[in-house]
């Protein structure tokens, strides 16, 4: 499956507008520069797995949706097996052949990265205190 930079660019820009985020603010949230975000929008650059994961987390969409591989925004386990799903995401993202075999260690590393990204991007919300008086 070929990376569709036009679809990715369109979806990224649409999500930024939906969430009212500037390139600079989004860049801060995912740990990159606004120039890099601009290059994604202009189709001049493809995101690394780490950044694609963080972008998907910011917008609460699946990586597959963001990359243009599905119309479904929801994060679903396609196979009911997180290891197989992570493996499939890596194969799609890096344009590997379908018969590529990833090691358990590689998949575990990707899983750790995905989970770390979630905590980085979606910190716990502070409790709102009610005014008394």
SS3 labels along the chain: CCCCHHHHHHHHHHHHHHCCCCHHHHHHHHCCCHHHHHHHHHCCCCCCHHHHHHHHHHHCCCHHHHHCCCCCCCCCCCCCCHHHHHHHHHHHHCCCCCCCCCCHHHHHHHHHHHHHHHHHHCCCCCCCCCCCC
pLDDT score for 102: 73
Q: Is 97 exposed, middle or buried (0-12, 13-18, 19+ CB in 10 A)?
A: exposed
In a domain, 75, yes or no: yes
> 64: domain range?
5-121
**Does any domain span residue 54?**
yes
More confident residue, 4 or 84: 4
What domain count does the chain have? 1
Q: Which two tokens stand for residue 48?
A: 């690394």
> Has residue 127 been placed in a domain?
no
The answer as to whether 116 is a domain residue is yes
| The pLDDT of residue 21 | 93
Query: Does residue 126 lie in a domain region?
Result: no
pLDDT of amino acid 35: 96
Q: Is 22 a member of any domain?
A: yes
Give me the chain's average pLDDT, please: 78
Give the CATH number for residue 64: 1.10.260.40
Quote the pLDDT of residue 28.
93
Q: What is the pTM of this model?
A: 0.57
Largest CA distance in the chain: 66
- Residue 37, in any domain of the structure: yes
Q: Is the residue at 106 inside a domain?
A: yes
| pLDDT greater at residue 131 or residue 38 | 38
pLDDT in tens, 1-47: 577 889 999 999 999 999 899 999 999 999 999 999 999 999 999 99
How far does CA 71 lie from the centroid of its chain? 15
């Amino acid at each position: 499956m070929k990376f569709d930079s036009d679809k990715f660019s369109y979806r990224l820009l649409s999500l930024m507008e939906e969430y009212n985020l500037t390139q600079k603010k989004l860049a801060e949230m995912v740990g990159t520069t606004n120039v890099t975000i601009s290059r994604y929008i202009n189709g001049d650059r493809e995101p690394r797995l780490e950044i694609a994961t963080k972008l998907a987390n910011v917008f609460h969409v699946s990586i597959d949706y963001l990359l243009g591989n599905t119309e479904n925004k929801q994060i679903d386990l396609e196979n009911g097996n997180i290891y197989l799903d992570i493996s499939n995401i890596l194969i799609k993202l890096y344009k590997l052949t379908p018969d590529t075999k990833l090691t358990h260690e590689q998949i575990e590393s990707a899983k750790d990265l995905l989970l770390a990204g979630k905590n980085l991007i979606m910190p716990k919300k502070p409790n709102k205190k009610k005014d008394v008086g």
